[in-house]
Amino acid sequence: MPLLRRILCSAAAIGIVFISSAGTPGHAQATNFPDKPPILLGAAWYPEQWPESRWNTDLDLMEKAHIHLVRIGEFAWSSMEPSEGKYNFGWLDKAIAMAAQHHICVVLGTPSAAPPAWLTSKYPQTLRVSENGVRAQHGNRQQFSFSDPLYRKFVYNIVLQMARRYGHNPDVVGWQLDNEFAEPDFGPTAQAQFHAWLQKRYGTIANLNEKWATAYWSQTYDNFDEIPVRADNENPALLLDWKRFVTDTWKSYAQNQINALRPNIDPRQFITTNTMGWFDGFNEYELHSILDMAAWDDYISSDHYDYLDNGARHDLTRGYKRKDFWVMETEPVFVDWRKTNTPLKKGQVIDMAWQAIGHGANAVEYWQWRSAPNGQEEYHGTLIGADGKPVPVYWQIQKLGAEFDETGSALEGTSPHSRVAIINDYDSRWAINFQRQSARFDPVKEMLAFYDPLRTMSQAVDIVSAQAPLSSYKLVVAPALNVLTPVEAEHLMHYVRNGGHLILGPRSGMKNEYNGLNPQGQPGPLEPFLGARVLQYYALANNVPLDGFFGPGRAKIWAEQLTVTAKDPEADHIHVLERYGKSNGWLDGQPAIVTRRYGTGSITYVGAWLNPPLMQKFAAWALHDAGVRPILPNVPMGVEVCQRSSAAKDILILINHDTVTHTIMLRRPMFNLLGNKSMRVGEVTLPKYGVAVLEASPR
Ligand code: GLA
């Protein structure tokens, strides 16, 4: 039997599902440089904050912790260009060379998030204006205007200098543009650009007036210059277009830097930027269309590590390019910007890092190596203390580094693959957030209500845009696809007609691309296809009972009264799966979930925010109906299963996020890459926060 066939057969025998890559194949290793490790441990290092005499000690400690990567430079503009047009790169040359002597490669951050004082004081128009008209000042970071042409010129120049100097340096593996794109500018330049952007989109002011329905409250505009710039409390059409304008402006801001980099750098050096999980300031899919790789800063969302939420944000980031990604920053135990900066528990640092790898990260980088001797972030967690000596977490990270080194070659070439996709749509999230109707209707939480049981049961979920190719998925869930264009609707219908299983959550298909109400009602263009529609939506103060195919449960926060519109529901294979019980009178006995079969595919509309036990049952049904099986069955709650595969092998990463020991039975003996590698094991016992990395292919 040919080798690949044999591997496929043995994998099937042990219940491991091989899935061919969806869309573009994943980045299979940390960098495009074959001489660098396939999985990288790293730290954010700021040599400009320290005397050169200290650097070697730091790099030595890094090397001892198996750190193979540093990110340098992203706030160091005043050190690189101390005065206008006068450059000083000597220190950076030395820092890169010295790091290389310690087998540490470099990501260079472009310094545009922190312009020097000489620049902003001489050219104050480069400073950002807030929504209430206040111009930013020097002394903090992100004070620049993302749209100001002069600022862009200065940025282009400094990036060009860097590109020419380091674009072919074999120790520089990639570039991070700026740092956490976030704050837009509301000043006169941005406003004029917004007007030009609107004119390009709508052609005439009459067309804009029509699409925005400006007769409402006498908003009718006579020309584009009259349109205000607002991010809140405005016509929903303006608000949505403002977000799109902000997206395009960040994209051209990034492109300006890419223009300086691309012609001057080695094609093996990647270009990325560090993103922020659920942050919705602009559309990440648009931005990533011009980047080589996605990266994000993984800081836990609340005062405890919620592994499902954290895993979802990894999946979100992986979805920006539908490829493996990097964790460009993560916390060494605690941060300094929450209300109470509680530490991760001992052991969770390793657990969290392995979760990143399990979800498709090829690098995990700690922010930061050591606190600056002064400055806004003195209290943040680090690996090295104020005395220059390792703090307790250093030893844990050193252990992690050894594990990355040990397993790197096995992980090389592998990526996560999933048969389940959740659609993340920025237009819809923005539209709902502008007009929540219920303050508790947070579109991200609503997405997670679907994600959590789907991820737990299927053990692999992609989070992708509404435009992503869907044919490789058995199940696609659009949790609240509020803004639905005819093109997107056709894309979804094509998926179902070809055997896909589509689930729409509450509030789907309500709005058109101008954030106006769809005249067909909900779910807009999908109504005839579903054979059912929403008659009315209701925000809920109290839970409403539900009953039906999945048994009793509750609707919380939101409930939509559905009705079947098809003439012959039975002939059209339309079924009401769940109905509301007695509540506000309007909902009593009315359909809450409707499904319709199309050959081997189906479309299902869920009109209510289901409470967790009911959502659990619903998700189990949806997965079963779509033919999605878990990677590893019978895994206890709190133990996460991640799989990275290539055509030749499967790697399982099992993580016990729980505080008690669990034993996990494997379907067939596997090699334990963190244990005695030459011996196969049939089960693994994981202590609290314990991790196992297992290989299924013959070695
Ligand atoms: C962000 C920034 C870093 C640092 C950390 C602190 O992610 O990118 O520069 O401020 O937060 O948590």
Segment 462-512, tens digit of pLDDT: 999 999 999 999 999 999 999 999 999 999 999 999 999 999 999 999 999
Q: Which residue has the tokens 């400690």?
A: 61
546 vs 523: CA distance, rounded Å: 21
Q: Which residues make beta-bridge pairs with 463?
A: 422
Which of 616, 623, 658 is closest to 449 using CA atoms? 616
pLDDT 10s digits, 553-597 = 999 999 999 999 999 999 999 999 999 999 999 999 999 999 999
pLDDT 10s digits, 407-461 = 999 999 999 999 999 999 999 999 999 999 999 999 999 999 999 999 999 999 9
The stretch 117-129 carries a mean pLDDT of 98
**Single-letter amino acid, residue 231:** A
Which of 461, 441, 413, 633 is closest to 537 using CA atoms? 441
pLDDT at 651 over 80: yes
The stretch 198-202 carries a mean pLDDT of 98
CB within 8 A of 99, min separation 6: which ones? Answer: 45, 59, 70, 72, 105, 106, 171
Determine whether the shortest distance from the Cβ of 297 to ligand 1 is under 6 A: yes
9 vs 22: CA distance, rounded Å: 21
pLDDT at 16 over 80: no
pLDDT at 307 over 70: yes
Calculate how far, in angstroms, residue 641's C-alpha sits from the geometric centre of ligand 1. Answer: 29
Calculate how far, in angstroms, residue 335's C-alpha sits from the geometric centre of ligand 1. Answer: 9
Neighbours of 349 (CB within 10 A): 24
DSSP label of 270: E
Longest dimension (CA), the chain: 82
Which of 327, 340, 322, 233 is closest to 44 using CA atoms? 327
Residue whose Cα lies nearest atom 7 of ligand 1: it is 297
Helix (H/G/I), strand (E/B), else coil: 630: coil
pLDDT of residue 28: 54
467 vs 421: CA distance, rounded Å: 12
Query: HSE of 393 in the Cβ direction (CA atoms, 13 Å)?
Result: 24
**Single-letter amino acid, residue 520:** Q
Question: Strands 532-539 and 553-564, how do they pair?
Answer: antiparallel
Calculate how far, in angstroms, residue 44's C-alpha sits from the geometric centre of ligand 1. Answer: 10
- Torsion angle of C-alpha atoms 324, 328, 330, 332, degrees rounded to 10: 120
Q: Which residues make beta-bridge pairs with 606?
A: 593
**Single-letter amino acid, residue 551:** G
Determine whether the shortest distance from the Cβ of 279 to ligand 1 is under 6 A: no
CB within 8 A of 30, min separation 6: which ones? Answer: 36, 37, 38, 39, 40, 69, 173, 326, 362, 363
Which of 211, 238, 218, 237 is closest to 227 using CA atoms? 238
pLDDT at 698 over 60: no
For the chain, what is the total number of helices (H) and then of strands (E)?
Answer: 18, 25
DSSP label of 134: P
305 vs 301: CA distance, rounded Å: 8
Question: Strands 294-298 and 325-330, how do they pair?
Answer: parallel
Neighbours of 675 (CB within 10 A): 13
Question: Strands 691-695 and 662-672, how do they pair?
Answer: antiparallel
Helix (H/G/I), strand (E/B), else coil: 15: coil
Q: Cα 690 vs. chain centroid, distance in angstroms? A: 25
CB within 8 A of 648, min separation 6: which ones? Answer: 3, 4, 7, 413, 697
pLDDT at 13 over 90: no
Helix (H/G/I), strand (E/B), else coil: 58: helix
163 vs 258: CA distance, rounded Å: 10
Q: DSSP secondary structure string, 373-423?
A: SSSTTTTS--SB-TTSSB-HHHHHHHHHHHHHHHHHHHHTT-B---SEEEE
146 vs 115: CA distance, rounded Å: 12
Kindly report the length of the chain.
Answer: 699
pLDDT at 76 over 50: yes
What's the token pair of residue 423?
């659609």
pLDDT of residue 676: 82
pLDDT at 21 over 60: no
The answer to whether residues 471 and 429 touch, using CB atoms and an 8 Å cutoff, is no
The stretch 77-99 carries a mean pLDDT of 98
pLDDT at 11 over 70: no
332 vs 341: CA distance, rounded Å: 12
Determine whether the shortest distance from the Cβ of 180 to ligand 1 is under 6 A: yes
Domains and CATH numbers, the chain: 40-183+248-411 (3.20.20.80), 420-626 (3.40.50.880), 639-695 (2.60.40.1180)
The answer to whether residues 409 and 394 touch, using CB atoms and an 8 Å cutoff, is no
**Residue percentage of the chain with pLDDT more than 70:** 96
The stretch 537-542 carries a mean pLDDT of 98
Ligand 1: which atom is nearest the Cα of residue 180?
8
Determine whether the shortest distance from the Cβ of 141 to ligand 1 is under 6 A: no
What's the token pair of residue 225?
């210059």
pLDDT at 355 over 50: yes
The answer to whether residues 400 and 361 touch, using CB atoms and an 8 Å cutoff, is no
The stretch 306-335 carries a mean pLDDT of 98
Pocket residue to mutate for ligand 1, from 112, 178, 272, 297, most atoms within 8 A of Cβ: 297
Which of 511, 442, 518 is closest to 479 using CA atoms? 442
CB within 8 A of 63, min separation 6: which ones? Answer: 102, 103, 104
Residue whose Cα lies nearest atom 5 of ligand 1: it is 367
Calculate how far, in angstroms, residue 398's C-alpha sits from the geometric centre of ligand 1. Answer: 22
Q: Cα 672 vs. chain centroid, distance in angstroms? A: 30
Determine whether the shortest distance from the Cβ of 176 to ligand 1 is under 6 A: no
Determine whether the shortest distance from the Cβ of 380 to ligand 1 is under 6 A: yes
The answer to whether residues 99 and 59 touch, using CB atoms and an 8 Å cutoff, is yes
pLDDT of residue 3: 32
The answer to whether residues 696 and 643 touch, using CB atoms and an 8 Å cutoff, is no
pLDDT of residue 675: 85
pLDDT of residue 29: 87
pLDDT at 1 over 60: no
What's the token pair of residue 534?
């929403």
CB within 8 A of 479, min separation 6: which ones? Answer: 422, 423, 443, 446, 447, 449, 450, 505
pLDDT 10s digits, 452-475 = 999 999 999 999 999 999 999 999
Q: Angle, to 10 degrees, between the axis of helix 426-434 and the axis of helix 443-458?
A: 140
pLDDT of residue 627: 98
The stretch 603-625 carries a mean pLDDT of 98
DSSP label of 468: S
Q: DSSP secondary structure string, 289-328?
A: TT-S-EEEEE--SSSS--HHHHHHHHHHHHHHHTS-EEEE
220 vs 465: CA distance, rounded Å: 34
Helix (H/G/I), strand (E/B), else coil: 23: coil
591 vs 608: CA distance, rounded Å: 10
Average confidence score pLDDT of the chain:
94
590 vs 584: CA distance, rounded Å: 11
Calculate how far, in angstroms, residue 663's C-alpha sits from the geometric centre of ligand 1. Answer: 37
Ligand 1: which atom is nearest the Cα of residue 335?
12
**Which burial class, exposed, middle or buried, applies to 161 when counting CB atoms under 10 A from its CB (0-12, 13-18, 19+)?**
middle
483 vs 60: CA distance, rounded Å: 53
Determine whether the shortest distance from the Cβ of 179 to ligand 1 is under 6 A: yes
406 vs 227: CA distance, rounded Å: 59
pLDDT at 25 over 50: no
Q: pTM, whole model, 2 decimals?
A: 0.95
Neighbours of 477 (CB within 10 A): 25
Determine whether the shortest distance from the Cβ of 128 to ligand 1 is under 6 A: no
The answer to whether residues 89 and 80 touch, using CB atoms and an 8 Å cutoff, is yes
